[in-house]
């Protein structure tokens, strides 16, 4: 990127890509940007190489000033910076919402228990597991010798005892409980933060 300067070194035009330019009565082809040296470009059309300056995190630019170096034929951004002032309650609410949005993406994932891939695709799968577990618990209470049929995520059939069924369902529920607990931990960290920068530094993908 380049800039074409006026005689007082103010910026006349920014050139973001090689293009033909007209200065005075002279039209220059687009290849001048590669054919001419920086010194030749400056002598011909007062063109200098544009150097960007990154704005630091937590700052914003209130005014863009420029520094021209006629020795090295460059113009460098010199932004006037100010601190970004964040509304802490708003930032907390936004990040807590992000955690809430992450939870279903972690919750609806298959769980492997004792070699059985338990399908967790939606609320229907949760209701089916709860019903299966309640039936197995009732069989245990009544000392029934009932077995339970279950089809896993690969549609493979399994015949389970009451104890095996309870163990499978309990493992899934324990995983879901751990996910919810992690979401609460993350939201507690967010809500206990005293600055927005603390929240921005948090990794919401940890602990799942």
Tens-digit pLDDT profile for residues 146-183: 999 999 999 999 999 999 999 999 999 899 999 999 99
Helix 88-107 and helix 162-192: axis angle, to 10°?
160
Q: What is the pLDDT of residue 54?
A: 94
How many Cβ atoms from other residues are within 10 Å of residue 46's Cβ?
18
0.85 surpassed by pTM: no
Q: Which of 87, 53, 100, 109 is nearest to 196 (CA)?
A: 87
Residue 145's pLDDT is: 87
DSSP state of 56: P
User: In whole angstroms, what is the distance from residue 158 CA to residue 168 CA?
Assistant: 12
Q: In whole angstroms, what is the distance from residue 13 CA to residue 11 CA?
A: 6
How confident is the prediction along the chain (208 residues), in pLDDT tens digits per residue? Answer: 999 999 999 999 999 999 999 888 889 999 999 999 999 999 999 999 999 999 988 889 999 999 999 999 999 999 999 988 899 999 999 999 999 999 989 988 899 999 999 999 888 998 999 999 999 999 999 998 899 999 999 999 999 999 999 999 999 989 999 999 999 999 999 999 999 989 999 999 999 8
CA 52-56-60 angle, 5° bins: 85
Question: What is the residue extent of each domain of the chain?
Answer: 2-83, 88-200
pLDDT at 107: 87
């Amino acid at each position: 990127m380049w800039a074409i300067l006026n005689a007082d070194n103010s910026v006349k035009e920014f050139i973001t890509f090689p293009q033909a330019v007209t200065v005075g009565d002279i039209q220059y082809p687009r290849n001048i940007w590669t054919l001419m040296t920086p010194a030749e470009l400056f002598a011909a059309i007062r063109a200098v190489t544009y150097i960007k300056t990154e704005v630091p995190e937590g700052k914003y630019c209130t005014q863009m000033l420029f520094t021209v170096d006629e020795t090295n034929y460059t113009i460098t951004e010199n932004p006037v910076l100010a601190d970004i002032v964040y509304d802490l309650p708003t930032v907390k609410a936004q990040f807590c919402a992000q955690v809430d949005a992450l939870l279903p993406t972690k919750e609806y994932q298959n769980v492997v228990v004792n070699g059985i891939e338990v399908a967790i695709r939606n609320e229907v799968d949760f209701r089916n597991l709860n019903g299966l577990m309640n039936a197995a618990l009732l069989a245990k209470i009544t000392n029934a010798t009932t077995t339970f049929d279950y089809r896993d995520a690969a549609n493979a059939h399994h015949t389970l005892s009451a104890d095996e069924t309870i163990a499978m369902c309990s493992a899934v529920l324990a995983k879901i409980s751990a996910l919810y607990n992690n979401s609460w931990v993350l939201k507690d960290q967010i809500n206990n933060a005293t600055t927005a920068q603390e929240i921005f530094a948090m990794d919401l993908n940890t602990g799942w």
